[in-house]
Amino acid sequence: MTGFLLRRLALALFVLVTISVITFVLSHVAVDPALGVAGDSATDEDIAAIRAQYGFDRPYLVQYAAYIGNVLSGDFGRSYLSGEPVIGLVAERVPATALLAFLSIVFALALSVPLGVLAALHPNSLLDRLALSLAVFGQAIPNFWAGLLLILVFGLNLGWLPISGSSSLAHFVLPSITLGTFAMPALMRLVRAGMIEVLDADYIRTARAMGLKERTVLWKYALRNAVLPVVSLTAVQFGFMLGGSIVVESIFAIQGIGYLAWQSMSRADMPVIQAIVLLVSMAYIVLTLAADLLNAALDPRLRRAS
Amino acid sequence: MTVFPESDRVHQRHWGFLIGAGLLGVAAIVAIFAPFITPHDPFQQDLALRLKPPFWHEGAEPGYLLGTDQLGRDYLSRLIYGTRISLVLGLGAVLISGLIGITLGIVAGYFGGWIDTAISALITTRLSLPVVLVALAIVAIVGGSLTVVLLVIGLLLWDQFAVVARTATMSLRNAEYIAAARAMGTSRLHILVREVLPNIRAPLIVVATVEMANAILIEAALSFLGLGVQAPLPSWGLMLSEGKNFMFFSPWLITLPGVCLFTLTLAINLMGDGLRDVQARDR
Amino acid sequence: MIRFSRLLSATAVLALGATGALAGSEDNSLTIGIGEELPSFDGYISTSRDGVVMTRHLFDMLIYRNPETFEYEPLLATSWERIDDLTWEFTLREGVTFHDGSAFDAEDVAFTLNHYADPEAGARSQASVSWIENVEVVDPQTVRIVSDAPFPAALEFVAGSLPIYPSDYVESVGWQEFGQAPIGTGPYVYQAGDSNAFTLTAYEDYFEGGGKGTPAIDTIEVRIIPDTATRIAEMIGGGVDWIWNVPADQIEQLNAVPGLTAELGSTMRIAMVAMDAAGRANPESPLADPRVRQAVNHAIDRETLVSALVGGDGEVVNVPCYPMQFGCDTEAATVYDFDPERARELLAEAGHGDGFSVRMASFRDRARAEAVQQYLANVGITADLEMLQARASFSAWREGDIDMWYGDWGSFSIADVSASTGNFFNGGTNDGAQDAELIALIERGAATIDEEERRSIYSDAISRITEQAYWVPMHTIVMGYAYKDALDFTPTVDELPRFFLASWTE
């Protein structure tokens, strides 16, 4: 177990370092940070002065070390646009995105777990086919298009739900459906496949043969085991959502980090962009790490293997 | 259809696969023969004929079957050329990502040891990068164009290829015929390309379909956000973005490209599912 | 597919009937939807249009220009007079307080203006402040603004873009924080909201007798909805009471929606395709050749573009200024007809018969920008179009990153040619021509007091600009507004919605 833990942590660390190199290249090498800091009415002398003042004239390796130092102390630089510290700008917007991602996952799970289980219980039935069609449908529909259609139908035509903003839970319904539809197919396929496999396993057959109630067999034994890979995938999907919410946030005017990223891109505000990429990646790493550890704790086989 | 080795046998009976393949075939034909079947020049604007509705609406303009856009360009012609962009993008991106991912995956799976550890770490790194976000950032720096978008997506979507190729290769590593080849002193490159690759082809083709659909959707999303394929190219995502402001009173401007995008990705996914089912049956 | 579309077109039609009846008239509040998030509420820093509008509500200038009569009226100053060529003296209103209760006096005026007169302070529009040499406190109710050279447009800027800030508060919190938590003397008080929205509440102790009157609407909820389609959707759905930047195309149909008024208001804003004649973006730029620039002028069918894509009473402009501005002599301009044949000939003469590529940026209207792109393509010029947000697009032009900029300019709503032509051909960062002869003319014009002489100097400048074809002067911009029928609101030509003058009629 300790070996597994250590290896897993080392991997996470490696990934973090690699990603910090990428974000450093994005913000310091691919663009000239001095131009961004100087703003648009700066003269050549101003820019030269800024380059010296901020140390943008040092070798990249030295700059990278300084960059890592700053990041570790929570300093992601200042936005070129507003001059505010990036960390504050991002922190302000995390709750909206986190809530959106959470609700979307809840929506996706609420749809995919029951449907996946039912489909697995009756393979090749009409229900199974319907569930699979839904998965195929959800996979193929472009989420920004779905968002626009939902606005037209439920926001305008029926007037049931608010169209944009994030001031109440009702505001999150349409965006969560839009984003959740994107995560649903993979989850449902996994639940279905996992259930089919587990239901076929010896211990379930034994349990059934012993005359345990079907409901007990299903929910207590089968689902618990089938759910293991779902935990990992949920974490993975959650990570995707933090990044993928960019389109949804821009359509529904939710001021989350995806929207902030999009705004910053059309303004070439690199400090904000690199911070978001770095933070979203970090969130993903932490989530998958947590999922792996949880899996290791839940799954006796894995525990013994290491 | 030699790309799909099993097609002669089982696929005739798999409806999803047939529908998907049929739709994709139609899309391919439309894309290849686009210049011959478009009724108008997809780029020619005519401001006097702008926002004409499709033929089933009142006030449709004869000769413009699916109406015109906000600049009076023939919408049908633009949709047809859009098929080209999506297919080129999807195929191109999958070629690049497939090359990268499969190479890494086979090498990792075959050699194992520290090579495997290193490549696995690389895969994990790639997985933790948010694709859309990174693609947007790069396009924002480099500037958007079809080539840039194709390269960026291709360079980002290799992870599943690598994962699947690695696992499949691992299970083959100790197979008898591989061991035999090794014993005969066959070069490693030869073993990897001639012996391993053909035997892990099937699951990789499934990955290719998934990633192709993915690439097409990501391109559309980038273009929709204004940081992808640039005007005047008729990318479906860009058309959606251009038509969005008009969706309340000229809804076909967003329904038509959306339906096209949906149909194409659906077709590719159906094919992928079909292949997967057949492989599962064969196993 | 057909059925599906039919269903959706039906929903769109149905949507017309579904307007929310929830007007803010019940509690005398107004919800407005604006497009841009404001990085700061400091009016010297946040010069986007939405920012300027907020500045007018939170702060006051010394004087006020009545949008209907165009007369100056008292605001923070009750009277003003010119002491000499360089000096204006203002007598300040007594009993005015800032939102935190502190008193307003001459010290605040001097503090604010002297701070931003220094270029280091980073006012985004240097033209608004660079003329100020010094601001002197005579006594607590009297202040003098001294310019470094005779500056005829001084009052325009005093009324238009110089809000006054509380010196004590700014000094205690710093400029950065002030932009986030502004306090002014204006008719509305800022209240922070989440990052989606903020609230303005009517200032109870707002002084009476100023040009702005006293506000009728109690609270203004400002929602930031960047996407135009979403903003329109919210308007139709009743989520907001007022929006602007509605595309001209949508006005007629929106106006047909029960309960909504939609209209196009003319503005002082002019659009242009500015060209990088000085070769800032590309030293080898084909645009350095006047024949190429003239070809670009001939290539664009402005009449058709205006009638199809601008709408309202938008009209073609042939001059590098708003025709109603003082000194904007339309007679002096060389006019280029739409003549693609001539354009191709000129390009061939200049050695670009095979065409060339340029980078073009724009922001306000994608359809218009793409139309221009296509007109250029027709004569062989490939324009790579970058649609950016207003600020980024403007920066791209000012930093000299792009060859062509299809932008627009509102002259700070100032009715003098120095605010338009003077801002784009003075050798500054806005100036893509960097023509020494022109720069000299502009400088002379800015410092000349005699009206006739100024007029003739600017005529010469306009003549040179159009002859050299540094721009394609395009058209005036019309602003699309949509709001609830029950809202008493009048669009003004200066594009500065005044919610302190608006009210609910029910």
* pLDDT tens sequence across C426-440: 888 889 999 999 999
Q: Is C40 on the interface with A (CB under 8 A)?
A: yes
User: Distance from CA of residue B172 to its chain's centroid?
Assistant: 28
Query: Which uninterrupted H or E stretch holds C32?
Result: strand C29-34
Query: Which of C231, C266, C301 is at the close of a domain?
Result: C266
Q: Is C382 on the interface with B (CB under 8 A)?
A: no
pLDDT of amino acid B236: 96
A233 falls within a domain: yes
Query: C224 and A253 in contact by Cβ < 8 A?
Result: yes
Contacting residues of C for A268, CB less than 8 Å apart: 392
Q: Domain residues for A192?
A: 94-255
C310 falls within a domain: yes
Span A238-242, mean pLDDT?
A: 75
Query: φ and ψ at A164, to 5 degrees?
Result: -145, 165
Q: How many CB atoms lie within 10 A of CB A211?
A: 7
Q: Is B224 on the interface with C (CB under 8 A)?
A: no
Q: Could you tell me if C262 and C273 lie in one domain?
A: no
Span A264-277, mean pLDDT?
A: 84
Q: Is B87 on the interface with A (CB under 8 A)?
A: no
pLDDT of amino acid A301: 58
pLDDT of amino acid C477: 93
Q: Could you tell me if C250 and C286 lie in one domain?
A: no
For residue A85, the cross-strand partners are: A78
Query: B227 and A15 in contact by Cβ < 8 A?
Result: no
Query: For tokens 């700014």, what's the residue?
Result: C170
Q: Could you tell me if C240 and C102 lie in one domain?
A: no
Report the C-alpha gap between B83 and B34 in whole angstroms: 9
C492 falls within a domain: no
Q: Which of C20, C195, C392 sits opposite A159 (nearest CB)?
A: C20
Query: φ and ψ at C148, to 5 degrees?
Result: -80, -20
C470 falls within a domain: yes
- b/e string for C229-256 if b means 16 or more Cβ within 10 A? bbbbbbbbbbbbbbbbbbbbbbbebbee
Span C102-127, mean pLDDT?
A: 90
| Three-class DSSP category at C416 | strand
Among A194-208, B15-29, B65-79, B134-148, the range scoring the smallest mean pLDDT is: A194-208
Query: A236 and B127 in contact by Cβ < 8 A?
Result: yes
Query: A41 and C176 in contact by Cβ < 8 A?
Result: no
Per residue in B51-64, pLDDT (tens digit) is 899 998 888 888 89
Taking the CA of residue C233 and the nearest CA in chain B, the distance in Å comes to 8
Q: Could you tell me if C350 and C331 lie in one domain?
A: yes
pLDDT of amino acid C82: 93
Spatial contact of B71 and C367, defined as CB atoms under 8 Å apart: yes
List C residues 351-380 in contact with B (Cβ-Cβ < 8 A): 366-367, 369-371, 373-374, 377
Q: Could you tell me if C293 and C315 lie in one domain?
A: yes
Query: C386 and B230 in contact by Cβ < 8 A?
Result: yes
- pLDDT at position B180 over 50: yes
- pLDDT at position B135 over 50: yes
Q: Is C226 on the interface with A (CB under 8 A)?
A: yes
- Which candidate, A238, A221, A253, A122, places its Cα nearest to that of A180? A238
Contacting residues of C for B70, CB less than 8 Å apart: 249, 367
Q: Which of C230, C394, C429 sits opposite A164 (nearest CB)?
A: C230
C281 falls within a domain: yes
- Which candidate, B87, B93, B97, B218, places its Cα nearest to that of B161? B97
Taking the CA of residue B133 and the nearest CA in chain A, the distance in Å comes to 6
Query: A236 and B224 in contact by Cβ < 8 A?
Result: no
Q: Which of C14, C227, C398 sits opposite A157 (nearest CB)?
A: C14
ipTM of the complex model: 0.86
- pLDDT at position C7 over 50: no
Whether cis (ω within 30° of 0) applies to the bond prior to B232 is yes
pLDDT of amino acid A43: 63
Per residue in C221-273, pLDDT (tens digit) is 999 888 888 999 999 988 999 999 998 888 988 999 999 999 999 888 999 99
Q: Could you tell me if C53 and C155 lie in one domain?
A: yes
C385 falls within a domain: yes
pTM of the model: 0.86
Q: How many CB atoms lie within 10 A of CB C172?
A: 10
Q: Is A157 on the interface with C (CB under 8 A)?
A: yes
Q: Is C388 on the interface with A (CB under 8 A)?
A: yes
Q: Is C247 on the interface with B (CB under 8 A)?
A: yes
Q: Is A267 on the interface with C (CB under 8 A)?
A: yes
CATH fold of B10-35+73-282 = MetI-like fold (1.10.3720)
Spatial contact of B68 and B52, defined as CB atoms under 8 Å apart: yes
CATH number at residue A175: 1.10.3720.10
Query: For tokens 């910090």, what's the residue?
Result: A20
Q: Could you tell me if C249 and C169 lie in one domain?
A: no
* The two three-digit tokens of residue C439, written as one number: 């720069």
Contacting residues of C for A253, CB less than 8 Å apart: 196, 223-227, 230
CATH number at residue C130: 3.90.76.10
- pLDDT at position C11 over 60: no
| Mean pLDDT score of chain C | 89
Q: Is C259 on the interface with A (CB under 8 A)?
A: no
Taking the CA of residue C243 and the nearest CA in chain A, the distance in Å comes to 14
Q: Which of A82, A96, A251 sits opposite C227 (nearest CB)?
A: A251
Q: Could you tell me if C466 and C443 lie in one domain?
A: yes
Spatial contact of A97 and A245, defined as CB atoms under 8 Å apart: yes
Q: Could you tell me if C338 and C443 lie in one domain?
A: yes
Q: Is C237 on the interface with A (CB under 8 A)?
A: yes
Helix axes A126-140, A86-121, angle to 10 degrees: 160
Query: C37 and A155 in contact by Cβ < 8 A?
Result: no
Report the C-alpha gap between A204 and B240 in whole angstroms: 50
- pLDDT at position C19 over 50: no
* The two three-digit tokens of residue A30, written as one number: 């691919």
Contacting residues of A for B262, CB less than 8 Å apart: 140-142, 145
Q: Is C385 on the interface with A (CB under 8 A)?
A: no
If one counts the domains in chain C, the total is 3
Q: Is A164 on the interface with C (CB under 8 A)?
A: yes
pLDDT of amino acid A83: 74
pLDDT of amino acid C330: 93
C197 falls within a domain: no
Q: Is B19 on the interface with A (CB under 8 A)?
A: no
Q: Domain residues for C304?
A: 268-478
Taking the CA of residue A211 and the nearest CA in chain B, the distance in Å comes to 31
Query: A31 and B141 in contact by Cβ < 8 A?
Result: yes
Q: Which of B72, B242, B255 sits opposite C5 (nearest CB)?
A: B255
If one counts the domains in chain A, the total is 1
Span C15-25, mean pLDDT?
A: 47
Q: Could you tell me if C317 and C368 lie in one domain?
A: yes
Q: Could you tell me if C176 and C236 lie in one domain?
A: no
Report the C-alpha gap between C53 and C43 in whole angstroms: 9
Per residue in C138-173, pLDDT (tens digit) is 999 999 999 988 888 889 889 988 999 999 999 999
Report the C-alpha gap between A183 and C130 in whole angstroms: 55
Contacting residues of C for A163, CB less than 8 Å apart: 230, 233-234, 237, 239
Q: Which of B50, B226, B252 sits opposite C387 (nearest CB)?
A: B226
* The two three-digit tokens of residue C61, written as one number: 């200038």
Query: C367 and B256 in contact by Cβ < 8 A?
Result: no
A9 falls within a domain: no
Q: Could you tell me if C235 and C321 lie in one domain?
A: no
